[in-house]
Structure 1
């Protein structure tokens, strides 16, 4: 896991990680827009195979919403759409009601600076090039949208918020829609992802720290090795030597009796692969051993 800096694309981070880790086999899951910081899940070498099997369908963010001005990109980097609007007349109850309308299962039009591809190019690339980007509304779930603090800054009202949401939710769009619903406009001035699925900021490392390690040791170290990553992301099943050898060669195991994908570990404590019960057996989903 990397703590992505502002201004970097996810692809930029992958390129930097390739140099720091000394390998071309680096991939990422759960794209972050350039403005955002925080948790970006990377897979190195064998772990690249794991990325497509991770359950990264829930995410958490800390953000700052500025009420009183809409922008062309729904963030502070865009052009102002009109003049600032006074917000001191907006009541706390009105903000609460506006947030409630944006909580739960909603239909959301993604921000024009999202990472969604439009005709092969990211929407944010087209928007920042001055194109008019139109995206379709899509169903998302906002399970938590809490105001942590508020500040009045001239005509603007700034809200520090915590958002728990489904994959595909755009916090920029929440800021835009909250401001629009209150009749004053709104945009995002800060966005930090604190969690992706089971992975949190506590496990993420900055590029600066990784670069220091690469300079002193010749290669940066992992936030989590493959064993720890699988143990974090999946229920664990321990296999005996015969089962471990069979799974390493793609053979199914006896059924485990559970639902979903399970990580299987051998007697030496290292992960062998992922299995899921199907047709009376625990069948391989992904074989990760031998190294």
Structure 2
């Protein structure tokens, strides 16, 4: 299992390096495909395709009704193979990334997001009561959580010196994850989130933040030595700071993804990545960290 995780991890790092090197359309397609997969993993995990019905086929609207009927064994689940909400959300992902690619984060990005939300609510209202509010909210959440936030990886790469800045996202997430794991194994005694993730410790979290900050400093030092980013002496303090903050955020992203799995009683989001699970199992911290690194880079660098 560990060997499988390591091999998958190495392949992912190589893949990430290649798409960051090429940038442009290559990174765009990569982010789009990853976002779509993550979107469908979330909608499936959150039961967007499942409608709760009574034995007579009536839609359950409130939690109170659901609990009463559950005690009387009157509940049954209706799962659709094709769900209109899911399809519209996926179209929204395509439209968001299309606008992102052509405008590089202009005002039309918000227009595409707003349009997707309006379309989903339009279907909810005029198809009522075919879909309940929980399905609509889960679709909206899945659309915003993974695709929109992961889009910041592409936007970060499009910044001046974006290739070098984008690596801060990787350092803040995957380097943090690695440092936190080994620090936790060696020194972990105090549980950080015993219910959500029993194996994570406060000591591991500290090790993850410190490890990311140290790697960020070394990275900045190397860039300064070779004058890769001219006139950027501030990197020696900005990069470690950004990586430290990003590491803290990445751990929240990891726990948030775990919380969703706990709520819906699933072990992994998928099986795409051997030893890890689905896209949401491996890119959860990247998704959470990308927008934070983007805005910190815009402000500090």
Higher helix share: 2
TM range (shorter): under 0.3
Normalising by structure 2, we get a TM-score of: 0.25
Higher strand share: 1
Normalising by structure 1, we get a TM-score of: 0.26
Task: Give 1 or 2 for the bigger CA radius of gyration.
Answer: 1
